[in-house]
Amino acid sequence: MTLSVAKELNDIRCRYKDAPMTIISICSETSTISASLSHIQSLLLSKRDLEGILQTRQDLATALDTALVGCAVLFSCLNEETQRITKGQSGSSTFAFRSKARLLWNHDKLKELLDGLRGQQIAINPLIQLFQV
């Protein structure tokens, strides 16, 4: 889901010539989180002893689970917002007036989601560092 939401947001950014900084920042954060989650996945798959560590260190397993659930919730909310914003667009190369109005109308919600994304990235980074040790 992270990649599809990131792609949809990037499409919005590309079609809306003067996209608000919030959309540009959300695109950046979603790409970063997607890359971080892929990195965690590759770490978990490549280190055989990591599974044992997660079984013995419940705090790490809980932190990882919490971060993953938080990402899933945020990306689900972002998906809903992008669907709401692009409703009725049907593949147009430019952003319709109604969609621009919806985007501006929902700016506070998008800013709140951006803050959540930044918080998730801050939570994911220490996990990556711990798994690499």
Using one digit for the tens of pLDDT, what is the confidence trace for 99-110? 666 666 677 888
pLDDT > 70? residue 98:
no
Token reading at 6: 């990131």
The pLDDT assigned to 74 comes to 93
CA-CA distances (angstroms) from residue 70 to 59, 93, 109, 116? 16, 33, 17, 9
Give the model's pLDDT for residue 55: 78
Indicate the pTM of the whole model: 0.77
Instruction: Pull the structure tokens for residue 129.
Output: 């560092």
Q: What pLDDT was estimated at residue 89?
A: 61
Give the tens place of pLDDT for each residue, 46-82.
Answer: 776 777 777 778 888 898 899 999 999 999 999 888 8
Burial class for 95, CB neighbours closer than 10 Å (0-12, 13-18, 19+): buried
